[in-house]
């Protein structure tokens, strides 16, 4: 029996799923494909697809068009649904479900596929120049995407990270694919790692939901409001895989990061609830917090990485003073490697929640003494922050920065910290300041000056909250690289 889950984890009945049907096709048969050889070894974040035109059904299609013919025995899952066996499925966006024949058919028929998601896997076969007229891809956060944008069919969709479910719902995708942990004895799977990129609301709207089940995916605890569990009866097909997961190497900070992290650690009191991002600076901040002897820290963060694991192991993070989910590190997405995944697997000290719950500023503020720590690319002398573009060129995304800047300051005793190196060198070796009189033309304002509180560089801390434009400029110049301070003083706002 199909069903959905309420906020308490209870099941309620719902009508059976409709089979996906693209324009020009008859209703598809549920079927299976013979295993094919594919040298891809990555498991990536999930995504959604929306098909149109004369493209055959992405799961089965006509029997004579399925890779390897139609003779493979599909088997059945716990709920009686067919268990599809595609060894070569590119799980994030159903790329391997289509296979090479699907790619050829797409070119032949002139059909169209719209893909929505973020962190597209490198080498995705649907995103090649020859398919630029048949495939479009919209992302609300760029990684590999920025290298694909010149093809002309890859576009950025501005949104806060908590708006990802609402954005996907607005696009009305028909097919969703995600990777899950193995089901437990009751048929429940963890959406794990990047599973919150596809929220329950999106999965319930889609006509077809495919789950790749991978024993390497950690089964991460999640319960209560905005939990991330999914039952085998809620998916239309299960694809088995044991391919290695994508690892994110631990980024090492440098001397500059250590100096910045030292200033940040001084701003974090015992008992604070912290939010850390990714990269060398975030890892270095974690090391500084441990070295400084901080105690009873809590974690509520959109992305959890190896640095938090080390703080938990050392007892620096125990979540004992949190108001929401006490005793547990709350997060939406997890980035790291096998050591972190093994640590998180069935560990009751973790609780994964939907991204629109984790990054809701109102939920952030429910914990006292929240300290959010985020990166910036440049800041002007009035306090406007760009954290996502190089001039008009989209580099990353808005992410959750603004949500954490606001939510942390709404928290009782909370603080918002934006960190950046004071300068950088271009390809020619020329030194440039990241604290500038005005943002470069076309630059995106990720965080408006009205919301900025603490700004930290390797030269110190500037508190901009409730300061005048002149006071802000002076505070920022004081933490700028010494080589640029005089010139910045000449360009101070009146």
Residues annotated as catalytic are 302
Please give the Cα distance from 399 to 36 (Å, whole number). 37
Do β-strands 329-334 and 350-352 pair in parallel, antiparallel, or remain unpaired? Answer: parallel
- The answer to whether the beta carbons of residues 169 and 203 sit under 8 Å apart is no
- The answer to whether the beta carbons of residues 85 and 32 sit under 8 Å apart is yes
Please give the Cα distance from 291 to 178 (Å, whole number). 39
DSSP designation for 207: S
- The answer to whether the beta carbons of residues 270 and 316 sit under 8 Å apart is no
Q: Which two tokens stand for residue 86?
A: 């595609």
CA 191 to chain centre: 13
- The answer to whether the beta carbons of residues 190 and 222 sit under 8 Å apart is yes
Please give the Cα distance from 33 to 43 (Å, whole number). 20
Residue 154 pairs in a beta bridge with 137
Please give the Cα distance from 423 to 401 (Å, whole number). 21
Closest CA to 331 of 297, 362, 361, 354: 354
| Residue 31 backbone dihedrals phi, psi, to 5 degrees | -155, -170
Please give the Cα distance from 165 to 9 (Å, whole number). 19
């Amino acid at each position: 029996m199909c069903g959905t889950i309420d906020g308490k984890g209870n099941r309620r009945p719902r009508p059976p799923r409709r089979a996906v049907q693209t324009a020009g096709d008859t209703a598809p048969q549920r079927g299976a494909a013979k295993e094919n050889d594919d040298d891809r070894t990555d498991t990536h974040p999930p995504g959604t697809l929306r098909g149109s035109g004369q493209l055959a059904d992405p799961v089965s299609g006509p029997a004579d068009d399925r890779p390897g013919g139609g003779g493979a025995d599909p088997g059945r899952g716990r709920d009686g649904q067919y268990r599809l066996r595609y060894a070569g499925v590119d799980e994030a966006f159903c790329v391997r479900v289509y296979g090479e024949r699907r790619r050829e058919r797409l070119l032949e028929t002139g059909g169209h596929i719209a893909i929505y998601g973020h962190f597209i896997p490198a080498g995705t076969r649907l995103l090649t120049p020859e398919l630029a007229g048949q495939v479009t891809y919209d992302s609300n956060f760029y990684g590999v995407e920025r290298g694909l944008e010149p093809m002309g069919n890859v576009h950025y969709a501005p949104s806060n990270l908590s708006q990802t479910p609402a954005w996907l719902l607005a696009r009305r995708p028909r097919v969703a694919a995600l990777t899950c942990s193995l089901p437990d004895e009751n048929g429940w799977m963890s959406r794990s790692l990047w599973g919150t990129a596809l929220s329950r609301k999106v999965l319930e709207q889609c006509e077809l939901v495919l789950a790749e089940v991978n024993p390497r995916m950690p089964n991460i605890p999640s319960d209560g409001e905005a939990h991330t569990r999914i039952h085998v009866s809620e998916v239309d097909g299960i694809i088995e895989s044991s391919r290695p997961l994508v690892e994110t190497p631990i980024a090492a900070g440098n001397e500059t990061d250590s100096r910045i992290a030292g200033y940040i650690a001084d701003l974090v009191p015992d008992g604070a609830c912290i939010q850390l991002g990714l990269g060398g600076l975030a890892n270095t901040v974690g090391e500084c917090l441990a070295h400084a002897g901080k105690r009873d820290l809590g974690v509520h963060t959109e992305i959890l990485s190896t640095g938090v694991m080390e703080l938990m192991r050392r007892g620096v993070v125990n979540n004992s003073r949190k108001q929401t989910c006490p005793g547990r590190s709350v997060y939406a997405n997890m980035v790291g490697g096998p050591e972190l995944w093994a640590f998180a697997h069935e560990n009751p000290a973790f609780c994964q929640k939907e991204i629109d719950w984790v990054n809701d500023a109102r939920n952030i503020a429910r914990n006292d003494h929240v300290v959010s720590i985020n990166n910036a690319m440049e800041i002007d002398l009035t306090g406007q922050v760009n954290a996502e573009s190089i001039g008009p060129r989209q580099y990353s995304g808005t992410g959750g920065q603004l949500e954490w800047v606001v939510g942390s300051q709404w928290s009782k005793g909370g603080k918002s910290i934006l960190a950046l190196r004071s300068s950088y060198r271009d390809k020619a070796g020329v030194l440039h300041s990241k604290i500038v009189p005005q943002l470069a033309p076309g630059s995106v304002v990720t965080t408006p000056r009205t919301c900025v509180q603490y700004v930290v560089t390797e030269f110190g801390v500037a508190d901009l909250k409730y300061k005048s434009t002149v006071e802000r400029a002076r505070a920022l110049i004081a933490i700028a690289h010494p080589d640029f301070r005089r010139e910045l003083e000449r360009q101070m706002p009146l």
